[in-house]
Structure 1
Amino acid sequence: MLTFSFATTIVAFVVSVYGNDCKEYNLTPSDQSLIDMMKHYLHTSRKADTVAQSNQDIGVTYVRWGKKTCPKGAGLVYTGQAGGNFYTNKGGGSNYLCLPSDPENGKVTSNDNDGLYGAEYDTWSTNKPSGFRSKMLQKEAPCAVCRRTGKVSVLMIPGRKTCYKGWKSEYHGFLMSQHKRYNQMDFICMDAEAEPLDNQSANNNGALFYPIKAKCGSLRCPPYKDNTEVLCAVCSK
């Protein structure tokens, strides 16, 4: 680092003294060649620094459902609680939200359009995915918004627990959404090691997370298999 700084200082000094087309000095061709080389060095090194800085700004974000932290190497944007619309509401949003744990609340309102609730696990003994933590029924779910620098794409792959070649696994788990008898919600990838938001447990409903299973017919089997848990992976590149 000292050698680089010293060299940069010398180059800057020479350019400042002998620059300006060198009209005030009698330079040999070799002197002029050295100065041109130094000017080129300064230009390219500054350009490289700019490119390196811009690469540090590149990154992708994703939600890690069921966890309060991000995978190793990923930065935490914020942590919070999974939420969404009430499971029987006919209107309103149809996607799950990762709600920050430090909201900036608006004013109290008298309108009747209550459409934001917490989201809880509805994983019963009869539908709990294999390996999924027990005693999660009717506990609210946490979430974390994560950022992976140096990547330009992120996607959730349903039906797999590993990423394709060239992609990095952020986490894997089980495909979940609301029950088929309730209003539609997005599919999300619930972390295989999902945890509860806290120790509270009550049947408050709100938005609900149910594991999804595959059904053959229009879904081709093979390669899929009837009545199986649907795995998922979140991958970046």
Structure 2
Amino acid sequence: MRSYCILYFISGFDLYGHGQWTVRKSGLPGRNGVPGIPGLPGKLIQSGCASLAGPKGEKGATGPSGTAKSGKPGPTGPKGEKGSDGPTGAKGARGEPGTPARAPGPYGTSGVTYVQWGKKSCSASGVQTLYSGVAAGSHYQSSGGGANTQCLPLDPEWGYYKSGVQGSGASYIYGSEYELDQGIQPFINKKLVHHDVPCAVCYAANKNTQFMLPAKMTCPTGWSRAYRGYLMAEKNNHAGRSMYLCVDHNAEGTAGGGADHNGYTLYPVEARCGSLPCRPYVDGRELTCSVCLK
């Protein structure tokens, strides 16, 4: 607590005798008197003045520890760089054998299809004939139509159709004939002139691929041969275009198909020297072929 000094001033103004105030009776106001003599300075009387400061006290004892208060989490720091890959772990134990999804089918779980031209059924061992048909394509004089030869089945199924030939509003397909009337008879059967060409679509189980190998009667090592034969296609000066087909060397004709209709015609393919190297090829010689499976 602070102490304060209280100061009193005793004025010497109008103070006479033993410190008594002179009382005057009020009368009529008089004239202004002569200015009095200045009084003596008043005496300073101290009362309750503060004492001098005492000596510095000793350091107090340490207070009890305060209770810590958790602050709010700070902001997420930036993403660190990717660390290096750790060492490869130990190899795990081998799992239990799986259960087969289903038993293999009668022809295995894989297989390929191909067409055997010139035959009514597939001749290779273990190969299934899916269906028999007739070879067909565009007319030999037509510049339009399809270029790939089709093996049409003998039991067609019809959807929507309009009776009658539609003329310019349709594309046509014709049955194929052997054209062997120029004295070229490479096949075993020598009575195939103008006969219609049969075909068979074949399924070889447990095979993954197949291809037609031109100018060869044997297949590469590790491949099996489905059949061998001779290359045939449309005549070189015909307007139509066709695929090169490998027709079986022991080709057949369809029953009653010996009439010369000249629809889609097939001729033996001969090698011509020039840009084709001779030898090994021989000018004018008919080319062989084979269909290979693996």
Tell me the TM-score normalized by structure 1. Answer: 0.76
Equivalent positions of 1:104-183 (< 5 A) are 104-106=157-159, 107-110=161-164, 111-112=166-167, 113-129=170-186, 131-182=187-238, 183=240
Residues 113-142 of structure 1: CA distance to partner in whole angstroms, max 9, x if unpaired?
A: 24111111101252222x431121111011
Corresponding residue pairs, total: 195
RCO higher in structure (CA 8 A, sep ≥6): 1
1:54–1:192 CA distance, 2 compared to 1 (3 A): closer
Counterpart CA distance in 1 for 2:219 and 2:102 is 32
Q: 3-state DSSP class of the match of 1:56? A: coil
Equivalent positions of 1:58-73 (< 5 A) are 58-71=110-123, 72-73=125-126
- Percent identity at matched positions? 37
Partner of 1:13: none
Please tell me whether residue 217 in structure 1 is matched to residue 274 in structure 2. Answer: yes
Partner of 1:199: 256
1:132–1:54 CA distance, 2 compared to 1 (3 A): closer
Partner of 2:283: 226
Task: Name the amino acid aligned to 1:219.
Answer: L
Q: 3-state DSSP class of the match of 1:62? A: strand
Please tell me whether residue 89 in structure 1 is matched to residue 142 in structure 2. Answer: yes
Which structure is higher in helix share?
1
Counterpart CA distance in 2 for 1:68 and 1:108 is 31
Tell me the TM-score normalized by structure 2. Answer: 0.62
Q: CA deviation at 1:204?
A: 0.8
Counterpart CA distance in 1 for 2:171 and 2:145 is 9
Moved over 3 A (4+): 49-55
Partner of 1:184: 241
Q: Which runs of no fewer than 5 residues in structure 2 stay unpaired? A: 1-93
Retained in 1: the 8 A contact 2:143–2:241?
no
1:201–1:53 CA distance, 2 compared to 1 (3 A): closer
Counterpart CA distance in 1 for 2:216 and 2:249 is 12
For structure 1, which segment, 198-207 or 159-168, has the greater mean C-alpha deviation from structure 2 after superposition? Answer: 198-207
Q: Which runs of no fewer than 5 residues in structure 1 stay unpaired? A: 1-36
1:186–1:134 CA distance, 2 compared to 1 (3 A): same
